[in-house]
Structure 1
Amino acid sequence: MIDIEPPELPRGIALAWGVAANPQRGPKREMSVEKIVEAAVELADAEGIGAVSMAAVAAKLGFTPMSLYRYVTAKDDLLLLMQEEATGLPPEAHREAEGWRAKLMALFEAQAHLYLAHPWLLSIPITGSPITPSSSAWLDAALESLADTPLDDVERLAVALAVTGSARWYGIVIAGYAEQARSTGMSPEQITVYEAELFDRVITAEEFPSLRAVIEAGVFLADDDPFHFGIERIFDGVEAYIARVDRGEKRPAVDTWLIPEPAELAEDKKLREARKAVRAAEKALRDARKAERQVLKDARERTARHQ
């Protein structure tokens, strides 16, 4: 049997768990990883993630950038620690909810509001599982919410990830609307009316019949929250699946990850050119169909005038 050495923790993850070695030397004035991260989060909350740099954080604290590098050696590590600080621990209130469904809904809403409070979190790309204390606590809370269900470990994780993904998508939208409200001075209600009017101006029944029907029904001015509807239907599906498991029905096979090999990602020049040509042809076809619909519309109007 081959002994495999456990991997060394990356510096950022080690810092998050508090197991990284402290710098041997540092500035005489008080400095710590915690103060650096707090300053960076304050900067991101006020000016966005683009304003965060080692130099900007150092200036905010009154130090030189080199002083910071003794504590946080890379910007990627700083971003990881900022994400950890802003994420925090899940609210205890979800434990008081009755049943797995209400518990997961409480976590879903808490995550969505987290993105509203720190929208810059959405700008940090997902490059893998954030193996940090706070992120682990959120995942643990979701798994614990499903502890009394007959779902197996793989299924519980899948449900937890579905909730997290839905919350992130919800966060992207509500944070975007909040930013639009700040930049334009419009209220959420005014933004809704403005967007509905834009849709009304450009969407025609001839080109987008289904979308036009939705506009005519006033859906874009409705108070209904499509994201809560969506997560509730996900929960309906999980509930139905749990009922199947309780009845002893066979579990379906689990799909494997769709992670491409490096060779599959390397498209050659001819393939890229071919795909570009296909996109151009599709656009030309859409334009031709649009022109055809316009000609038919004009013909119907002329006929109607001469009747």
Structure 2
Amino acid sequence: MKFLSFAAAAVMAATPVLAQESTDPIKLTLHDWSGQLITTTLMGEVLKEAGYNVEYVQADYIAQFAGLKTGDLHVAMEIWETTGREAMDEATASGNVVNQGETGMIAIEEWWYPAYMEERCPGLPNWEALKDCADAFSTAETAPMGRYLGGPVTWGGFDEERVEALGLDFEVIHAGTDAALFAELESAYQRQDPIMLWIYSPHWAPAKYDGKFVKFPEYSSECYADASVGINPDAAYDCGKPTGPIWKVSWAGLDDKWPNAGKAIRNFDIDNAAMGAMVADVDLNGKSVDETVAAWMADNKDVWSSWIAN
């Protein structure tokens, strides 16, 4: 990326401070969905502009916490309240991982269906409608049971547990990749075929396609932790997914080794609209993650430069 005049000034300004910091690479984790790749690349490229050595490391979304605890990995830029809160809380409770605050984005992840399915399953978006019309969502693969297309298994989400707890006649099938999930949605939507799948925001899909999230019983942490809480007294996860912030976390030693990088990571802030637009550029407009990040940085120098200002 070429922001030579600003980059040169930023590096010169940062040099006296960075001289006191480690020159070892800061290792940021990459996962398997476009938004996270954009968020992480954006943070990494901003750190490079400040003079840091940065390394991107492919890592599993939940399993990455083992590396963050040991310091083999240093920064994870997207831990979603919806699916990662339990793993994040366990890791931070160990004292080896630190919550570095919100990214500015608010997470929604839930079962979603196209609007045309409401004629085939009256009563939606109320989840109880699914008790009477699971077969409307069936495919040759699952008939007579409905088919729910979940995200890759590494995303977590407790969908199998929810299906069992709520007594839904659905089989959970996991997409292999983020791209495969949305390719199947596009194919089904164009043919008006039955589909129920995991949709998340910030993302372009809820804006592009006409549809709704299913309304499950309201989430509570007790619903996930205590089987006696909720509409099924014998099972946990008998409620919807949580919503809330997308968090940044790091190895606990980050601030000692790279204190000003820690400040920059805490300063990182971007909203759903900006991220959704960048994800659309990658997924719909054929741009690379690097191109998309470079374009945003060129248009928003005042924003990201404030993250690395001392």
Structure-2-length-normalised TM-score: 0.25
TM-score (norm 1): 0.25
More strand by percentage: 2
Which protein is richer in helix relative to its size? 1
* More relative contact order, 1 or 2 (CA 8 Å, 6+ apart): 2
